[in-house]
A = this chain, B = another copy of it.
Amino acid sequence: MVVEFKNIPIHDIAIEAKELLQAGNLEAVKNSLAPLHSTDIALLFEAVGEGAVIARLFRLLSPEVASETLLELEGRVKEELLEVLSHKELTDIVGEMATDDMTDIVSELSEDEGRKVLDGIEWKEAIVVQKLLKYPEDTAGGKMQAELVRVELGVSVNDAIDEVRKKSEEVQNIACVFVTDSDGRLEGTVALDKLILAKPKTLIEEIVNKDTVRVMTDLDQEEVARIFQRYDLLSLAVVDSEERLVGRITVDDVVDVIEEEIFEDFYRMASLNTGERALDNPRRSFGMRSPWLLLNLGTALIAAGVVKLFEGTIESFVILAVLMPIVAGIGGNAATQTITVIIRGLALGELNLRNARKVIMKEAIVGLANGLLIGIVAALAAFILGANFMIGLLLFLAMTASLLIAGLAGSTIPLILKSLKADPALSSSVFVTACTDVAGFFTFLGLAALFIKLGLL
């Protein structure tokens, strides 16, 4: 398709399609959907929103476009559609897919519904799907497709080209031919351009490139994505524990994984359920966010508890209460800075437990330096708000403590979670902010109480 890319007016088309559907003009609806790519149709369905309308639109698509569109859908729209479609309809649509995509869809159906769909598709494919279903969805095995062109070491270039010809209908994006020994163990690959350029009688074993990146079926999808990036791959081979070739993963399957994994990190950092989407309905969002906010209430109560210890001090010097939001606000923001940098470093593999000490030291130094700087400026600003010199000094010390803790806790907590094999981003904003609040308030109010006792305030 020729994409002179401009934003496609999805919402206008959605409104038009709804009106045409109500008017019963199905041909016109088909025409308005025809120029759209499946990804755009999926966005259009999101825009339409109403399950019943979506199902009617979906049934107007050809099986091929319907299958591509179904694969682009996610969340509630997809769930509702899978529920509404009969297993006959599902079978037709799933029949159009590659085995990795078939597996994704079947795994989302009820066991009974899934079995009916598998019974309906070609038996060879059904066997492959049954095998693929055994791999967890977020592993190399779960991401791979069984469709690939495979030849043995001893065949000729001519035979290999014949094999490409045979498979060219079934396999998308044949970038290379995979080469195995007679037991199916992966030996290497021959890129398609090399195959074109070789003499027809040449044996594959003479031109096979043994430098082929391969991973085991159980490797986590995040690691798989990292390998694609690290080595700038377009595809990689997946092998079982005995080095036998079982599938391949192509880069287009991985792009979405990379994106998803990064968003998940930041979702966890912000205490969000990774399933939440911007266009979810309010009830769903409420249900997913409130447990985290209740947890946050727990940590906020700790900070409040610290302040409670110094009620008498605040009663004597209410200006302390005026300045508390400065301590808490900047501490929280410095913590977010540190956590964000750490989460990125961990995600990109720049950070690990080996250089953890170095990074924690660095964050402590940065926190301390910023604490001193912001502390001085904040102390000056406090005068404007009516504080005297000693209160300014207290604010300076509290800012320094709070930002030092922001650096220390902001780097240590994610790294500890990582070393415990937990997600380093998990709710780290909430916990680290609690640390900075407690440290900041304790320094600020505790020292104030001490100063009063010493007659300094």
Contact = CB atoms under 8 A, between A and B. Distances in A.
B321 A314 contact: yes
A168 B193 contact: yes
Interface in A112-126: none
A277 B355 CA distance: 14
A39 interface: yes
Contacts of A262: 259, 262-263
What is the size category of the interface that chain A forms with chain B?
A: 35 or more
A337 B272 contact: yes
B271 A337 contact: yes
Interface in A333-366: 333-334, 336-337, 339-342, 344-346, 348-352, 354-355, 358-359, 362, 365-366
A374 B286 CA distance: 11
Interface stretch (A20-28, A58-66, A127-135, A293-301): A293-301
Nearest to A186: B2
Interface in A271-325: 271-272, 276-282, 285-286, 289-290, 292-294, 296-297, 299-301, 303-305, 307-308, 311, 314-315, 318-325
Contact of A330 (B40, B297, B354): B297
Contacts of A246: none
A413 interface: no
B329 A271 contact: no
Nearest to A254: B255
5 contacts: A2-B212, A37-B230, A282-B362, A290-B370, A301-B326
A417 interface: no
Interface stretch (A83-91, A102-110, A429-437): A429-437
Nearest to A399: B297
Nearest to A37: B231
Given A165-B197, A289-B370, A277 B333 contact: no
A214 interface: yes
A35 to B, nearest CB: 12
Given A196-B192, A229-B259, A272-B337, A330 B296 contact: yes
A111 interface: no
B304 A342 contact: no
Interface string A225-241: 00111111110000000
A213 interface: yes
A252 interface: yes
Given A37-B230, A195-B196, A293-B373, 19 more contacts: A1-B231, A2-B211, A164-B193, A251-B255, A266-B340, A271-B333, A278-B351, A279-B355, A286-B370, A296-B333, A301-B381, A301-B384, A307-B321, A307-B322, A307-B324, A315-B315, A324-B324, A329-B433, A336-B429
B193 A374 contact: no
A209 to B, nearest CB: 10
B315 A318 contact: yes
Contacts of A182: none
Nearest to A71: B232
Nearest to A335: B270
What are the 3 tightest A-B residue pairs by CB atom distance, in nearest-first order? A278-B345, A321-B321, A300-B329
A38 B51 CA distance: 50
B174 A441 contact: no
A46 to B, nearest CB: 6
Contacts of A279: 345, 350-351, 355, 358-359, 362
A325 B39 contact: no
